Amino acid sequence: MEHKNINLKLKVWRQKNSNDNGTFETYDAKNISTEMSFLEMFDVLNEDLIKEGKDPIAFDHDCREGICGMCSMYIDGRPHGPWTANTTCQLHMRAFNEGDTVVVEPWRAKAFPVIKDLMVDRSAFDRIIQAGGYVSVNTGNAVDGNSLPIEKDKADASFAAAMCIGCGACVAACKNSSAMLFTSAKVSHLALLPQGEPERQTRVLNMVAQMDKEGFGACTNTGACEAVCPKEISISNIARMNSEYLSASLNSEK
């Protein structure tokens, strides 16, 4: 692959901690190889800041392979930047041109308070899972794996929903900061499998209730979440969750 070096201007959100107001700072990123990942470009910038005696920019990251869901930058008005089906860590500098100005912000949502600079607190997602995103089975109870055949189509559809990495890009992209795509992916993952059947109704009711309690907004079906999802989780999961919710509510009223 052809590569070259480019120079960029970065406008980055700086915020000391959750009590600080925060502001944008501008930095020059010089001589950036287009083979670098976006986070490697931040590594270079941070090394320079440290050498200059300044505070480096805090950001979340770990796997750098697009699977842990830790990285979370809002780049030029889009979660995870310009590429589709992609995470920040997998975005490469090939996506940018010489002289570009790039604006980088944290996820913005009431339920995701900023911890420092570009890091936010996403523990609300864990609490949504705690509300019911599991099958209640203790270790040691299981029967032979093949005693429960599952149609391939269903297993594949369940897997497609279970691929969610919990990064929160869906929330960040939504003008209402709704967590419907995240929650519905988990509801679908388990509702599509026979193992999820016994708790199907309580699960959806409790997870939706927790989602509301955390302060995530309502869904108005703009599809912004699906468009930015690094794992291309389908918005049809939201429709499935709505119908699961409806039938569970009707049943629980009986």
Q: Does 123 bind another protein (CB under 8 A)?
A: yes
User: Binding to ligand FES by residue 229, rule CB under 6 A?
Assistant: no
Q: Are 180 and 237 within 8 A, CB to CB?
A: no
Question: Given the complex with another protein, which of 65 and 253 has the nearer CB atom?
Answer: 65
Residue 87 tokens read as: 């995470």
119-156 residues labelled b (16+ CB within 10 A) or e (exposed): bbebebbeebeebbbeeeeeeeeeeeeeeeeeeeeeee
| Residue 71's binding partner out of another protein, ligand FES, none, with CB under 5 to 8 Å set by partner kind | ligand FES
**Cα Rg of the chain (Å, integer):** 21
User: With CB under 6 A, what is the number of residues at the site for ligand FES?
Assistant: 13
Residues 163-222 that bind another protein (CB under 8 A): 163, 165-166, 189-190, 193, 195-196
Residue 156 sits at φ, ψ, to 5 deg, of: -65, -40
Residue of the chain from 7, 148, 209, 250 that contacts another protein (CB under 8 A)? 148
- 103's contact among ligand FES, another protein, none, with CB below 5 to 8 A by partner kind, is none
Q: Which of residues 53-92 bind ligand FES (CB under 6 A)?
A: 61-64, 66-71, 87-89
> Counting contacts by CB under 8 A, is residue 149 touching another protein?
yes
Q: Is 109 in the site for ligand FES (CB under 6 A)?
A: no
171 binding ligand FES? (CB under 6 A): no
C-alpha to C-alpha distances, 131 to 44, 135, 136, 186, 205, nearest whole angstrom: 41, 11, 12, 11, 9
Give 69 or 106: the residue with its C-beta nearer to ligand FES: 69
Structure-derived torsion over alpha carbons of residues 159, 187, 134, 216, reported in degrees to the nearest 10: 120
E strand residue ranges, the chain: 5-14, 23-33, 74-75, 78-79, 101-105, 114-116, 119-120
Please, what is the minimum distance in Å from the beta carbon of residue 101 to another protein? 21
* Binding stretches for ligand FES (CB under 6 A): 61-64, 66-71, 87-89
